[in-house]
Each structure stands twice: as structure tokens, then as C-alpha cells.
Structure 1
């Protein structure tokens, strides 16, 4: 957070209004918050995400890139500051303003941790009495005596008939399979009809080759 410290200290010595001052520090706190949430979800706990991919960064393909980013993130801000600005900044602030950036980072990380502990759902209290409400709202035992008791066996037999006949061997040997076979044969005949000249010339070449071989061996 070298660059954030520098930016916030420059903001504190600048002549800006209170609202802009608040937005700078609030955005910094949110940045620390989601950075801490990323660390919390990716590096702590057994399984904090639903991905099936292995989270592994031990290969040199990852390490080489991270080493370059590490060096530039540590010394890049100071190098740019030394190279771009001809005169170094002299920042003189009281202790409470110096510690304000640290407190913003700490409270931002704490806020991100508290957000990470929250759940994404809420328990509906009305579901505790769901079975009782279903029992009281279903005319007591009348559905089991009238509707469910009368329609259960016909529906079971209908399922057997659909599984055995409509979607079984009769469907395979019946109209749907016959229709599919006719479609395939029609497509084959259509392909042969569109390429009849090619087929004729190919058969003519085969006939010439066979005749040549026959004359050669005679």
C-alpha cells in the first residue's frame, strides 16, 4: 500500500473540500476491504468456493510473473516518484493524520472480514410450521382418501404403459423409427442424385482399370 499512503498524504496536505477528502479515504477503505475478502476466500479455510479447479500457484509459469509484479509493486511507486517529480515531496503531518491512513486500512480489512462472515441467505421462520400448515390446509385426510387413493394406481399403470409401449420396443419398431429410416434413405438417395455424374465417371474409371488389368494379364 505504498502508493495509497503517498496519495492519501498528498490529499491531506492539499487544499480540497471535506467531501472529496471523505471520498478518497472511503475508496481506500473499500479497496482494502475487497483485498482482504479476496485473501480470506482464497487462502483461508478448507473450501470457500464452489470451483472444481485446483488452486495451485507453485509452477514457474505463475511464479515468474508474480516475481516481476512483486518487485514493481514494492519499488515501482518510489522509482516513478523519483524519476517524474524533479523535487521530492516534503510531507509534514501531525501524528493523528499520519495514523489516519493506517486506521483506514485496518478498519477496511475488518469490514471486509465482517462481510466475509455473512451468509448469502436468510432462514424463513414460516418454514418451521410447513408440515402443520400442509396438514391443516389439505382437508385433513380427505385428499388421501379421495384424490390420492383413487388416482395413484391408474397413474402407476399409466407410467408402466408409457415406459413399456410408447417409449419401448413399439416406439423403436413403430412409426418414429420407420420415419427416421425413411428420412435417412431419402437423404442418401438425394445425395446420389446430386452426384450422379461423379458416380458415373468414377465407375467408368474403375471399369477402365479393371479392363486394363484384364488385358494386361491375358
Structure 2
């Protein structure tokens, strides 16, 4: 969760070379939009969390493009805390269910893994920017500063709001499949939690809840932002509204079925046919590389080079070794016959 943001950290270190960059903002918003929308149709637990990390990576790039490098670093730190705990909880779920990563088979996890489920829900709320959790403070500063900027247009505001709403939708969807949908395989697998995992997860949970407020109070200056109550509460109202809407949608219909039946939704849910671009278009080059390795690197090069020389020398040495041992046997036979002949003469 932190290694993938190393590029953002490098840009933060060289923030003096950057200024308010609209192109970087557009790239970050598209990254956040594509990954957030793709996470709403993904069924692999680890891929959903990975797409969530990619979405937050786009958020960091958007914050950095506005010149708010301190706020980008603040969001990087807070995101690293609760996202690492999310990955640990996902590892506990997958290990407890016999290495199953499909969320359609992971229902009812709160009965077998209550502590991990509690940590997972808390981190998901922090990811959505729930008030007074770690992720709330960085996002609150982000919205406040973006509203106060004069160079913001309608597209930028829409991208910020849509990114936040997508975060809520895939978090609610993931929580519904893990905890509210009773279609898991818990009757076939023994669910249990070990203290070896609970102890570090408890430490991360404390930091994921309190580190955001601690960093905002002790390490970052207090910004004096004058915003109306409408702007301050609009984001929270939209988050809660989409939370309820998404929960009702998950009860009524399945977004995975929509992704298969509808072409447009399938196009958007697969990150704009990203699997096709990353697999089928590069498969000819991979096949060519495999053939080159087979016939050149492991073929003629090895036959003429080191392996061929080794095989030739081994074969010739074994041939001469045969005659060497044959001569020794001949010498022994002649010596034995000569000894017998001497004994007979005596």
C-alpha cells in the first residue's frame, strides 16, 4: 500500500519543480475514475483493494497538481495506515477460507473472524472519509482547499465529487458481500483468528483511527478556511446518501450481472477494456520472445557455447576413460597370468 505511492513521494520531494498543473489533475482524475469504477464490478478481493489503492493514488496526484504538496504527503501517510490494515484483514479472510479470493464465496465473515471484520469495517469507513477517522482529516482539508481555489472549474469539482462517491460505492459493495450476504463457504472451512495476526492489526487499528487527527493537530498548520455550511456538509450528505443507495442496490440487483449483460457497463467496469490491452495485444510479442528463448538462447547459443562444449568434452573424456580402465584390466590379467606361470615353473 505504500510502495505503489513511491512515485507520488518522489514528486512531493521535488515539488519545487512543479506548479499548478491542470494536465496532471486531469490524469489523476481519470485514474481515480477508471479504478474506482472498475472496483465496483470486480469480484477478486485483493484486486478490489488494489484498485482502491490506485484510486487513492489518483487522488494524491490531484492534490499535488493543485500545489498542495503538504496535504498530499498527509494523505499519503494516513492512507498507508488504514490501507495496510485492509490488506492484512483481506489476508486473514483469504487464509481462513482456504485461499478463496472471490467475494461471492466469502459471505458471513463476521461470525468466524469478528475482530478482523471490525477492523475491516473501520478502515473502509476511514477510506470513505467518515468523520473523525484518519482518512477524514486529509479529505476534509482537500475539499476545503479545493473549494477556496479560484482556478477550479466545473470539471475539477465534478471529478473530486465522483471520486469520493466511487470510493463509497465499492466500499459498501465489498462490505455487503463480506458481511451481509450469506453465501459463504464457512460450513466447509474452519474459521479462526490467531493472536499472531490480531496483535499487529490492533496496533494498526489504533493508528488508523487516531493518526489522522494527531498529524493534523501536531504536524500541520491550522488553515483558516471560511466555507458556508452548505459546502461543508454537502460532501458528507452525498456520502451518506450514496451509502444508502448503494446498499439498497446491492440487495435488489447484482452489479456483476449488469457488467456481463450491458456492453457499456462492461466497458466501464473493465477499466475501458484494460485486460484486452494488457493481454491480447502483447501476447504476440510474448510468443515471439518465448520462441527466441527456445530456439536461440536455449538452442543454438547453448549448443555452440558453454553447454555444447561441456557435452562434447564430457563425451570425449568418457571415451578415453573407457580405454584407460580397459588398459588397467589388461595389465592386471597379464600380471596374474605371469605370476601363475612363474609359480608353475618353480
Q: What's the TM-score once normalised by structure 1's chain length?
A: 0.47
Q: Which has the higher contact order (CA 8 A, sep 6+)?
A: 1
